[in-house]
């Protein structure tokens, strides 16, 4: 939005740009003024874009060889692993790519929580982000069903059965979802179709997510509004491009380690057993990235209320901009919020851990306490904190300390670099 | 940056420990040095060939391996039998083919392109012949079991007299590594059960190791190329990362800010 008066140099460029201003868009994207103090937590946006594109490209290739049929799906996956040229590579990138995608999205979300990126004027960016996250979970769940292993089948059975908790129409909805009276071939084919569709919906929403971002511009670690362009900003290219690129490469090293040296460590062994409706696995567990919500689901004794709790745990994030009453964005200047933030991080990790354990005894108790705390954080602590907390003085600009300004910011930066 | 690394590794640690933490009923598996583990892990060719011998002479009478073809035996990264040997192996099996022009099914000697011949026509036949238990297909068996190769290796050597407080039904055996300790398969190996062509002493331990190596290959036939490519890819990425790091430093030196 910085350069409305941009004009291509060549005649052809001008002719084209007058009809479709793609070059103006490209110019905007390269010149886009970005706060110069963005730390590495901000690189996960670019990393996530990479993840999405990787999943789409590998997914397309897999779909060329995969057969969505209950009798052939498992075998076709083995065919990909054995006989398709580099099929094993493509499949392992796709399977581990899902985990990497979620790892990155959790870091991205928690970065936003720490620096208050969801607050005005960025609520729409945040809400679109939550919708993307929901779609990601749907896509990942359905993707996990496609190999038609034991965990695929029974995971699908457990999750689709959640809808039966809806009063009156629940059973009917489940039958409708399955396309029959149990998870079977019709379920598999429709899951395949939706699994193919959802990434493109996500892609569209990502465009909106970035568009909405480019209206107010990036938040930053200090969390203040800045003038754009100014001494506080750098053009997106080359500064942010190279920094995102560097972070992406580091991320890819971790990614490559999983793909080449531990490709099955994040999956469940039972999924290499072909689906068998007659044999139920000892423990039915979802993929690691869904475990916190699985723990919340199981911590409520009532089925319907459990489903409601699980859904609310995600949907509560959508109203977060209005639950957090503090005017200050960055946790750097919110000493109390910062502590509660880390407690929340620990809480979610604990939920993930107990989600992988059998829902009994001590695990169940821990899950219940952690679930209660999760809601307490968003529904009580955050709204109250905005009124009670004594925040630190916020600097006027990012460059202030560089030009010899406020000692507060220097102190703040010090703390911040510890986080970094 | 350092802290970023720390957090990253902690997260990964939590994830990986999570996925391994189901074995609440933990037993220590027997350990052996697998040649295929590690950054440069490769299969021991001779062990794979011996492992195939154990599979085909012992396991194959009950366990199918339906995703493998005889051609796989001669492919690089596997047991690497010569093509002639693989053809001879294939030809030693009777394969049902057809229908021919008269509409009749017929049998013929196997070819390289044939899948491994199954011991039973279907699951029901397998169950009927094994007291109701279905001997699982072995193609991806090591990937389908929690402890992987260590589990299979231990299980083969884990047969014991049942403790006094455990009562076993007919056709059920005690194995200290089996989930629940009860297994429907009798101890499949005994010393000297097969006669290795290369003169290796066929102890239970040796046969367990060989056949487990073979099963690892059957589950991950491209393991060697995966390791080789992985090493190249990661070295390439590290070099590129270092180069990009210095370019980044250079570019950012133009503004008064740190990266």
Tokens of B259: 């990266």
Across chain A, what does the average pLDDT equal?
93
Nearest to B3 among A99, A265, A418 (CB): A418
Angle at A183 between CA A182 and CA A187, to 5 degrees: 125
| Chain B residues near residue A264 by CB distance under 8 angstroms | 143
What pLDDT score was predicted for residue B167? 87
Tell me what pLDDT residue B17 has: 52
Query: B133: which chain A residues are within 8 Å (Cβ-Cβ)?
Result: none
Cβ contact, residue pair B233, A260, below 8 Å: yes
pLDDT given for residue A194 in this prediction: 98
**pLDDT (0 to 100) of residue A1:** 44
The CA dihedral of B85, B91, B96, B97, to the nearest 10 degrees, is 90
The band of A400, judged by pLDDT with boundaries at 50, 70 and 90, is low
Over range A84-94, report the average pLDDT: 98
Please check whether residue B252 touches A, CB under 8 A.
Answer: yes
Model confidence at A79: pLDDT above 70 = yes
User: Is residue A409 pLDDT above 70, yes or no?
Assistant: no
Average pLDDT, chain B: 91
State yes or no: pLDDT of A295 exceeds 80.
yes
Query: Cβ contacts (< 8 Å) between A88 and chain B: which residues?
Result: 220, 222, 226
Confidence of residue B27 (pLDDT cuts 50, 70, 90): confident
* Model confidence pLDDT, tens digit, residues A199-214: 999 999 999 999 999 9
In chain A, which among 238-257 make CB contacts under 8 A with chain B?
238-239, 242-243, 245-246, 249-250, 252-254, 256-257
| Interchain pair A263, B226: CB under 8 A | yes
Chain B 41-80, residues with CB within 8 Å of chain A CB atoms: 67, 72
Does residue A344 sit in helix, strand or coil? Answer: helix
The pLDDT tens digits for A29-50 are 999 999 999 999 999 999 999 9
The model's confidence at residue B16, banded by pLDDT at 50, 70 and 90, is low
* Residues sharing a CB contact under 8 Å with residue A229, sequence separation 6 or more, in sequence order: A2, A33, A235
**In chain A, pLDDT over 70 holds for what percent of residues?**
94
More confidently predicted of B22 and B112: B112
A 317-346: CB under 8 A from B: none
pLDDT score of B26: 65
Structure confidence at residue A412 (pLDDT):
54
Q: How many residues does chain A have?
A: 420
Q: Is B27 on the interface with A (CB under 8 A)?
A: no
Quote the minimal CA–CA distance from A165 to chain B in Å.
28
Whose CA is closest to B77, among B39, B117, B115, B41? B41
Q: pLDDT class for B8, splitting at 50, 70, 90? A: low
Quote the pLDDT of residue A405: 46
**What local confidence, expressed as pLDDT, does residue B126 receive?**
94
Q: Could you say which of B222, B244, B257 has the minimum Cβ distance to residue A37?
A: B257
ipTM over 0.95: no
For B134-164, the pLDDT digits (tens) are 999 999 999 999 999 999 999 999 999 999 8
pLDDT at A419 over 80: no
Q: Which two tokens stand for residue A122?
A: 């960025």
A37 contacts in chain B (CB < 8 Å) = 257
Interface contact flag, A282 B179, Cβ < 8 Å: yes
User: Is residue B12 over pLDDT 70?
Assistant: no
Contact B122/A at CB under 8 A: no
Contact assessment for residue B226 and residue A88, using Cβ atoms and an 8 Å cutoff: yes
Establish if B166 touches chain A: CB-CB under 8 angstroms: no
Q: How far apart are CA B227 and CA B37, in angstroms?
A: 9
**Residues B3, A420: C-beta atoms closer than 8 Å:** yes
- In tens, the pLDDT along B185-225 reads 999 999 999 999 999 999 999 999 999 999 999 999 999 99
Please check the confidence at residue B2 and state whether its pLDDT lies above 80: no
């Amino acid at each position: 939005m910085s350069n409305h008066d941009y004009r291509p140099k060549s005649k052809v460029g001008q002719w084209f740009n007058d009809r479709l201003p793609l070059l103006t868009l490209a110019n905007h994207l390269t010149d886009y003024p970005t706060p110069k103090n963005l730390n590495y937590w901000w690189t996960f946006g670019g990393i996530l874009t990479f993840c999405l594109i990787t999943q789409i490209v590998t997914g397309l290739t897999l779909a060329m060889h995969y057969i969505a049929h209950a009798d052939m799906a498992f075998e076709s996956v083995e065919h990909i692993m054995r006989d398709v040229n580099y099929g094993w590579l493509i499949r392992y990138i796709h399977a581990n790519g899902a985990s990497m995608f979620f790892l990155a999205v959790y870091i991205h979300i928690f970065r936003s929580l720490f620096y208050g990126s969801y607050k005005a004027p960025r609520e729409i960016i945040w809400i679109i982000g939550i919708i993307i996250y929901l779609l990601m979970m749907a896509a990942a769940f359905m993707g996990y069903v496609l190999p038609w292993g034991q965990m695929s089948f029974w995971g699908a059975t457990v999750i689709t059965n959640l809808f039966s908790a809806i009063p009156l129409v629940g059973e009917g909805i489940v039958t409708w979802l399955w396309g029959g009276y149990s998870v079977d071939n019709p379920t598999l084919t429709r899951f395949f179709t939706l699994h193919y569709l959802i990434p493109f919906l996500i892609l569209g929403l990502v465009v909106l997510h970035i568009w909405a971002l480019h209206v107010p511009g990036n938040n930053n670690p200090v969390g203040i509004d800045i003038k754009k362009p100014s001494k506080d900003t750098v053009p997106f290219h080359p500064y942010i491009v190279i920094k995102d690129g560097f972070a992406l490469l580091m991320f890819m090293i971790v990614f490559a380690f999983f793909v080449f040296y531990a490709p099955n460590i994040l999956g469940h062994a039972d999924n290499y057993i072909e689906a068998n409706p007659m044999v139920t696995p000892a423990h039915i567990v979802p993929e690691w990235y869904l475990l916190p919500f699985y723990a919340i689901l199981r911590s409520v004794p009532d089925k319907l209320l459990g489903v409601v709790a699980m859904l609310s745990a995600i949907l509560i994030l959508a109203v977060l901009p209005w639950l957090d009453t503090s005017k200050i964005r960055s946790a750097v200047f919110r000493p109390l919020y910062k502590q509660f933030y880390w407690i929340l991080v620990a809480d979610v990790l604990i939920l993930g851990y107990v989600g992988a354990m059998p829902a009994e005894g001590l695990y169940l108790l821990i899950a219940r306490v952690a679930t209660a705390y999760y809601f307490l954080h968003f529904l009580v602590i955050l709204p109250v904190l905005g009124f009670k907390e004594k925040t630190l003085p916020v600097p006027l600009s990012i460059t202030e300390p560089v030009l010899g300004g406020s000692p507060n910011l220097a102190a703040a930066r010090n703390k911040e670099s510890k986080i970094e | 940056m350092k802290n970023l690394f720390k957090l990253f590794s902690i997260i990964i640690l939590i994830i990986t420990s999570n996925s391994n933490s189901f074995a609440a009923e933990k037993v220590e598996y027997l350990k052996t040095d697998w040649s295929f583990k590690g950054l440069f892990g490769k299969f021991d060719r001779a062990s794979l060939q011996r492992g195939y011998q154990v599979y085909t002479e012992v396991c194959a009478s009950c366990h199918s391996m339906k995703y493998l073809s005889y051609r796989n035996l001669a492919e690089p990264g596997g047991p690497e039998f010569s093509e002639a040997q693989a053809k001879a192996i294939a030809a030693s099996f009777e394969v049902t083919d057809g229908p021919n022009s008269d509409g009749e099914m017929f049998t013929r000697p196997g070819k390289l392109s044939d899948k491994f011949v199954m011991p039973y026509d279907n699951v029901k036949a397998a169950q009927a012949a094994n007291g109701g238990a279905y001997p699982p297909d072995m193609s991806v068996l090591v990937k389908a079991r929690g402890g992987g190769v260590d589990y299979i290796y231990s299980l083969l050597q884990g047969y014991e007299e049942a403790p006094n407080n455990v009562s076993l039904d007919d056709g059920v055996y005690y194995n200290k590594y089996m989930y629940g300790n009860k297994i429907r398969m009798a101890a499949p190996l005994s010393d000297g059960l097969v006669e290795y062509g290369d003169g290796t002493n066929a102890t239970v331990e040796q046969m367990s190791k060989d056949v487990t190596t073979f099963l690892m290959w059957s589950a991950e036939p491209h393991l060697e190329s995966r390791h080789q490519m992985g090493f190249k890819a990661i070295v390439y990425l590290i070099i590129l990362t270092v180069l990009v790091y210095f370019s980044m430093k250079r570019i950012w030196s133009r503004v008064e800010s740190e990266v």
